[in-house]
Amino acid sequence: MVDVAIVGTGHSKFGNRTDVNLQELAWEAVKQALEESNLDQKDIDMFVVGNAGGWSSEPLSAIVIGEYCNLAPKGTMRVEAACATGSAALRIAYQAIKAGDAKIAMVIGVEQMHQSPNPVAIEMMGRAGNYFWEFENFGLTFPGYYALYATRRMAKFGMKEEDLGQIAIKNHYYGSFNPYAMFQKQIKMDEYMKSRVVAYPLKVYDACPITDGAAAVILASEEVAKKITDSPVWIVSQGFKSGTANLSKRDDFISIDAARLAAEEAYKKARIDFENSWRYFDVAEVHDCFTIAEIMAYEDLGFAKRGEGHLLAREGQTYIGGRIPVNVDGGLKAKGHPIGATGVSMAVSITRQLLYRAHKGTQVDVKNGMGIAHNVGGTGHYAYVTIFSLKKPSA
């Protein structure tokens, strides 16, 4: 099996991007990735498009993007795995290269959620849970789902609303330095505590925004990567698991089992000790669709013991200089969450961090040369954990 590296990255501005259509938005990221890798469209063997759709007008997003970006007639497909769509697309391209079916593959994550009114987008996301039972009968949408996790953890572990607020404050702080971020305004605790409640205890500042955006990465086999760049970032391993559609069928509302299992799988392949995992990584990108999701991610990735994730937030241990810097590009909370682009955006952020190409004010000190991305679809319906490194996996 061949080793696979990222040799080019691209990222659009996230936000309300109704100034362009879907394919123009994708091109912003594709163009950057091609220029960074010094490649042309003719060099790409295949491309995979991560696009959840449902709220946008293009049902054949991969085709219109391929035509516009001059990637046709290379083989393609549209991939969907809810909010983990971008990581699923990454996996398809990664596996194709490892299997020898391609030497250079492009992954494009893109979403234009503002093509639909906000209530429509919110409903479409709500349908991504258990439609006939939880959505239709009880009216659960995603703020409600994650509020169940938050209230359970408050009761069991003594987590406070202010602990959630610390996540929002941190991610808005780093988002203020990221020119690609949707929200570039720092917030304080009093603003957070006074913000409107969406689903107790979750407030407006606990929730990621409806977002448009695109990101792209170019993957290459070891043989080709060494010819393209002297600074490849290798994909060491990837774990992926799934959970039940119906939240009521899960054992407990304190963690996302699929994410923990995906982490264990990725760690086993990379020979990483789960209990001390935070010691291996210089930076982490985790799926903070709501602030409570980031706190659970700390535990599901082994950065904190079960029930102690909120203490990392309370103590500021996930800022740069702390135990493990997390979401220092602003995360989904401030950078934004264009569903199909999020997982690819995480890969872009980690790659640029390891290569000291992050934005001023967000660059971590790279000592171990490793980063990790945690991408969850729904409330744990899908989970992908990907490990990146400056060191070749087989070295």
83 is catalytic: yes
Nearest to 85 by CA among 379, 290, 378: 378
Locate all alpha helices (DSSP H) within the chain, ordered by sequence.
Answer: 22-37, 61-68, 85-98, 118-126, 136-138, 142-157, 161-175, 189-194, 222-228, 257-270, 291-300, 309-314, 331-335, 342-354
Residue 240 to residue 374: CA distance in whole angstroms:
10
Q: Do 248 and 140 meet the contact criterion of CB atoms below 8 Å apart?
A: no
Q: Do 222 and 392 meet the contact criterion of CB atoms below 8 Å apart?
A: yes
337 is catalytic: yes
Conformational region of residue 139, where left means phi above 0, alpha means psi within -120 to 50, and beta covers everything else = left
Complete edge-to-edge strand list for the sheet that includes strand 382-389? 75-79, 46-50, 104-112, 212-221, 4-11, 233-242, 382-389, 370-377, 283-285
Instruction: For residue 96, report the phi and psi dihedrals to the nearest 5 degrees.
Output: -65, -40
Instruction: For residue 178, report the phi and psi dihedrals to the nearest 5 degrees.
Output: -100, 110
Q: Map tokens 């409600």 to a residue.
A: 144
Q: Which of 83, 208, 289, 381 is catalytic?
A: 83
Q: Do 323 and 278 meet the contact criterion of CB atoms below 8 Å apart?
A: yes
Residue 287 to residue 273: CA distance in whole angstroms:
21
Q: Which of 337, 359, 374, 381 is catalytic?
A: 337
Locate all alpha helices (DSSP H) within 158-290, ordered by sequence.
Answer: 161-175, 189-194, 222-228, 257-270
- Per-residue tokens: 213: 């955006």
Residue 316 to residue 320: CA distance in whole angstroms:
9
Nearest to 347 by CA among 318, 382, 327, 372: 372
Q: Which amino acids are annotated catalytic? A: 83, 337
